[in-house]
Amino acid sequence: MSAEFGKPLSLRQTPIPGLVVLDLPVHGDSRGWFKENWQREKMVSLGLADFGPVQNNISFNDSIGTTRGIHAEPWDKYVSVATGRIFGAWVDLRGGPTFGQVYTTELGPAQAIFVPRGVGNSYQTLEANTAYTYLVNDHWSPEAQYSFLNLADETVAIDWPIPLNEVEISEKDQNHPRLGDVVPIPPRKTLVIGSNGQLGRALRREFGDDSEVEYADRGTLDLADADLEQARDWHDYGTIINAAAYTSVDLAEVDDGRSMAWAANVTGVAKLAAIASRHRLTLVHISSDYVFDGHKAMAYLEDDPVAPLGVYGQTKAAGDAVVSTVPHCYILRTSWVIGEGNNFVRTMASLAARGIDPAVVDDQTGRLTFTDDLARAVRHLLSTHAPYGVYNVTSAGEPATWADIARETFRLSGHDSGRVRGVTTEDYFSARADPVAPRPLNSVLDLSKVIATGFEPSDWATRLHSYLRELKE
């Protein structure tokens, strides 16, 4: 042990994705030794997953050759030796291309290993009175679903230092299935909330029938439910995509609408944020250009200060602030959303076809966001493990006014674009007796940050052409 004193903390990858060996600094003298067995800040900075342990267990073994496993639990483990020495064997029992991959090594007090959820672990003691400890990020439960592999499986062919016929093994471990009969540990699921809205339907198209994705509408999961924490077994999920929101910007200015906007966009979101934080889930949240006042002369960046003008924008800004407290979150700010259902483009195409010449505001500038682009961006950020944080996501292209977009819709629909008359926002709403939400005049969002992750938004004008063609078909 003394030869290992003073080694620096380091991290080694293994052939099994996510299975990481750590060499721990051990300090000692003639009296004994001391080590930092778990040091979150240092280890995470080296690349260890910030897995949030909630329980610490100790396994003590009297004799040389005590052998346990192979067990794959539905949680992450950080295993280290307190005294003695073990031979460890790990087998990937997660469904996927590395299913059955094996890694073996010896562990003493100067080593530790991080075992991700679904990787089977087994240990054979090489010294008497060996004790190893393990941190886990979920509380043990008798209902937890494990997968098991027989220690003597011929397929993985683990080269045990002490033959299995010479060691002490429980009868239960001796009777575990061979690899061909193992039920793989499935990945954690993704839950899409608000799956019947414009974005929700685009997310359904994007993820399709992926068995790892579930969809919920208000009928199956209500964010206003006081028992939301008990509505799902959240241990089974890794990601929540919140596509639900109150979006009636003008109705939000009246009493009933104001209450509904705050309930959906803040109170419900706060419940989701608490669940995501507690269970260490990734939360994807959709925000809006309405968090800005539109007074900036240039495109808005993700870190520009928010200054919402109306109730809807205030609730979205408050929701963003709540979600930003979740350790693993993506906040996607978007604008002028166009998808399946009622929207501005559909209205303009209908007016053109019916011979109605509309007045459309020409002093609000922004870009359309087609829901297919937004859904692609959600999947891209998740699949590439882009850094968490706020991202502006709209379709690309030159900014335009609502009147510009109306004229282009008329033109692409085979009608005279000159039929669209431009008016100011003030004039447009001057005849309205009911409350009208103030609109940001500049809704242009800078896309540099999301593009830097490798995402390529489509050009809004090109996408408008195909959208109108789809409407006609």
CA 451 to mean position of chain CA atoms? 19
Contact 377, 393 (CB under 8 A): yes
The CA-based dihedral angle spanning residues 375, 380, 382, 387, taken in that order and rounded to the nearest 10 degrees: -120
Which tokens belong to 376?
């692609």
Contact 148, 183 (CB under 8 A): no
Note the pLDDT of residue 153.
95
Is the alpha carbon torsion for 169, 174, 179, 184 positive or negative?
Answer: negative
Contact 332, 287 (CB under 8 A): yes
Note the pLDDT of residue 4.
62
Q: Which residues are within 8 A (CB) of 231 and not within 5 positions of it... i.e. 6 or more apart?
A: 221, 225
Question: Cα–Cα distance between 392 and 384 in angstroms, integer?
Answer: 17
Tens-place pLDDT, residues 313-345: 999 999 999 999 999 999 999 999 999 988 999
Q: Which residues of the chain have pLDDT under 70?
A: 1-6
Note the pLDDT of residue 5.
64
Where does CATH 2.60.120.10 sit in the chain?
Answer: 2-181
Q: Tell me how far apart the terminal alpha carbons of the chain are, to the nearest angstrom.
A: 75
Q: Which residues are within 8 A (CB) of 454 and not within 5 positions of it... i.e. 6 or more apart?
A: 380, 384
Tens-place pLDDT, residues 109-139: 999 999 999 999 999 999 999 999 999 988 8
Question: Cα–Cα distance between 233 and 222 in angstroms, integer?
Answer: 15
Q: Which residues are within 8 A (CB) of 311 and not within 5 positions of it... i.e. 6 or more apart?
A: 252, 253, 257, 258, 261, 262, 437
Neighbours of 140 (CB within 10 A): 10
SS (H, E, C) 7-26: CCCEEEECCCCCCEEEECCE
pTM, to two decimals: 0.87
What b/e sequence results for 72-105 when a residue is b if at least 16 CB atoms lie within 10 Å of its CB, and e otherwise?
Answer: bbbbbbbbbbeebbbbbbbbbbbbeebebbbbbe
Note the pLDDT of residue 3.
45
User: What's 189-472's CATH class?
Assistant: alpha beta
Note the pLDDT of residue 2.
41
Neighbours of 312 (CB within 10 A): 27
Look up the CATH architecture of domain 2-181: Sandwich (2.60)
Which tokens belong to 368?
């359309």
Question: Cα–Cα distance between 427 and 255 in angstroms, integer?
Answer: 25
What is the secondary structure of 245-299 as a DSSP string?
Answer: ----TTGGGSHHHHHHHHIIIIIHHHHHHHHHHHHT-EEEEEEEGGGS-S--SSP
Q: Which residues are catalytic?
A: 71, 134
Contact 273, 326 (CB under 8 A): yes
What is the identity of the amino acid at 232? R
Where does CATH 3.40.50.720 sit in the chain?
Answer: 189-472
Note the pLDDT of residue 1.
43
Question: Where is 347: in which H helix or E strand?
Answer: helix 344-353
The CA-based dihedral angle spanning residues 199, 462, 301, 340, taken in that order and rounded to the nearest 10 degrees: -10
